[in-house]
Amino acid sequence: MPVFVDTNVLVYARDASEPDKQPQAAAWIDHLWRTRTARLSFQVLQEYYATTTRKLKPGLTPEQARADVRDLLAWRPVSVGTELLEAGWSVEDRFGLSCWDAPIVAAARIAGCEYLLTEDLQHGAEFGGLQVVNPFRAAAGSLH
């Protein structure tokens, strides 16, 4: 069962300034690589690159972040296009999500995911068959 990974999980796995969250995020990322169940979107990849090169202290070099992004292409990112734009607006209208969170939920649904791994939305919330899982409230590999 595919699991959609939001930007914050990827960033925490690289963020040495978050000693409580970094190991748990890294455990999730490792589990998802081993099980080959991770999905994401190009929005997530763009946000990851920007955050790790501009906001993290210490951050990644552009070359390091680009290498990560190239590796993450194996997770079959959902493209930003008309389908995602329309689906995002539908999610925004139906669930009242922000214009930043709605495309994440829409991309997860387009990718056929049952779970959205993020700390940005309420743990356990459901969006049309997609369940939010906070990676810091559930152990890696605990999804059924």
Q: Decide if 142 is inside a domain.
A: no
- Looking at residue 141, what is its pLDDT? 86
- Write the DSSP string, the chain: --EEE-HHHHHHHH-TT-TTTHHHHHHHHHHHHHHT-EE-BHHHHHHHHHHHHHTSSS---HHHHHHHHHHHGGG-PBPPSHHHHHHHHHHHHHH---TTHHHHHHHHHHTT-SEEE-SSS-TT-BSSS-EEE-TTTS-TT---
Q: Is residue 124 left, alpha or beta, with left meaning phi > 0 and alpha meaning psi from -120 to 50?
A: left
Mean pLDDT of 124-142: 95
Q: Mind listing the pLDDT tens digit for each residue in 96-127?
A: 999 999 999 999 999 999 999 999 999 999 99
What is the total count of domains within the chain?
Answer: 1
The parent domain of residue 60 ranges over 3-133
- Looking at residue 131, what is its pLDDT? 97
Q: Mind listing the pLDDT tens digit for each residue in 48-82?
A: 999 999 999 889 999 999 999 999 999 999 999 99
> Residue 100 sits in a domain of what CATH number?
3.40.50.1010
Question: Could you tell me whether strands 131-133 and 3-5 are parallel, antiparallel, or unpaired per DSSP bridges?
Answer: unpaired
Q: Decide if 140 is inside a domain.
A: no
How far, in Å, CA of 81 to CA of 36, rounded?
Answer: 25
Confidence band of 1 (pLDDT split at 50, 70, 90) = confident
Q: Decide if 141 is inside a domain.
A: no
- Write the DSSP string, 90-106: HHHHHH---TTHHHHHH
